[in-house]
Amino acid sequence: MKHLLSALLLSIVTIITGYAQDDLVKYVNTRQGTNSKYEFSYGNTYPATALPFGMHSWTPQTGKNGDGWKYQYFVHTIRGFQQSHQCSSWVNDYAVFSLMPESGQLVVNEDERAASFKHEQEIAQPGYYKVTFDNGIKTEISPTERGAHLRFTYPANKKSIIILDGYTKFSKVKIIPAERKITGYVNNCRWAPQNFRNYFEIIFDKSFKSYGTWENHHNVVNAGNAEAEGEGAGVYIEFSAEQVEAKVTSSYISPEQAALTLQHELGQYRKFEDTHRAADKVWNTLLGSMKTEGGTAEEKATFYSCLYHANLFSHQFFEYGKDGQPYYYSPYDGKVHQGYMYTDNGFWDTFRGQFPLNTILHPTMEGRYVQALLDAQQQCGWLPSWSFPSETGGMLGNHAISLLTDAWVKGIRTFDPQKALQAYFHEATNKGPWGSANGRPGWKEYYEMGYVPFTQQTQGATAWTLEFAYDDFCGYQLAKMTQQPFYENVFSRQMYNYKNLYDSITGFMRAKDAGGNWITPFDPLDWGGPYTEGNAWHWTWSVFHDVQGLINLMGGEEKFTAKIDSVFSIPGTIKVGGYGQVIHEMTEMAAFNMGQYAQGNEPVHHLVYLYNYAGQPWKAQQHVRQIMKTMYNATENGYPGDEDEGQMSSWYVLSAAGFYSVCPGTDQYVIGSPLFPKMTITLENRKQFVIEAENNTAENMYIQSASLNGQPYTHNWISHADIMNGGTLHLVMGPQPALNRGTAIADRPFSLSAIKQ
| pTM: predicted TM-score of the whole model, two decimal places | 0.96
* Mean local confidence (pLDDT), 619-628: 98
Residue 3: predicted pLDDT: 40
Neighbours of 3 (CB within 10 A): 7
Taking alpha carbons only, the member of 471, 416, 417 closest to residue 440 is 471
Asked if 117 contacts 60 with a C-beta cutoff of 8 angstroms, the reply is no
Beta-bridged to residue 291, according to DSSP, are: 680
Residue 391: which of 439, 340, 423, 350 has the closest Cα?
A: 439
Q: What is the pLDDT of residues 37-86, one digit of tens each?
A: 999 999 999 999 999 999 999 999 999 999 999 999 999 999 999 999 99
pLDDT category at 756 given cuts 50, 70, 90 is low
Model pLDDT for residues 701-720, shown as the tens digit of each residue? 999 999 999 999 999 999 99
| Residue 687 pLDDT | 98
Share of the chain above pLDDT 90, in %: 96
Given a cut of 80, whether residue 757 has pLDDT beyond it is no
> CA-based angle 90:248:363, to the nearest 5?
65
| CB-based contact 578:533 (threshold 8 Å) | no
* Sequence-distant (≥ 6) Cβ neighbours of residue 490 within 8 angstroms: 425, 475
Distance CA 57, CA 719 (A): 34
Per-residue pLDDT of 470-488, as tens digits, reads 999 999 999 999 999 999 9
| C-alpha to C-alpha distance for 680 and 170, rounded to whole angstroms | 49
Q: Parallel, antiparallel, or unpaired for β 198-204 and 678-682?
A: unpaired
The DSSP 8-state label assigned to residue 654 in this structure reads H
Q: Are 340 and 703 in contact (CB under 8 A)?
A: no
SS3 536: helix
Q: CATH class for domain 25-290?
A: mainly beta
664/61 Cα distance (integer angstroms): 36
Amino acid at 98: S
SS3 562: helix
Q: What is the DSSP string of 120-133?
A: GGEEEETTEEEEE-
Task: Provide CB contacts within 8 A for 372, sequence distance 6+.
Answer: 339, 340, 341, 342
Using an 8 Å Cβ cutoff, are 642 and 670 in contact?
Answer: no
Q: What percent of the chain has pLDDT over 70?
A: 97
**728-731, long-range: CB < 8 A, 24+ apart:** 728/689, 728/690, 728/691, 728/692, 729/658, 729/689, 729/690, 729/691, 729/692, 730/692, 730/694, 730/706, 731/658, 731/674, 731/691, 731/692, 731/693, 731/694, 731/696, 731/703, 731/704, 731/705, 731/706
CB crowding 347-372: b at 16 or more within 10 Å, else e: bbbbbbbbbbbbbbbbbebbbbbbbb
Fold that domain 326-446+457-483 belongs to in CATH: Glutathione S-transferase Yfyf (Class Pi); Chain A, domain 2 (1.20.1050)
Distance CA(208)–CA(152), nearest Å, equals 14
Domain regions of the chain by residue span: 25-290, 326-446+457-483
CB 248 within 8 A of CB 147: yes
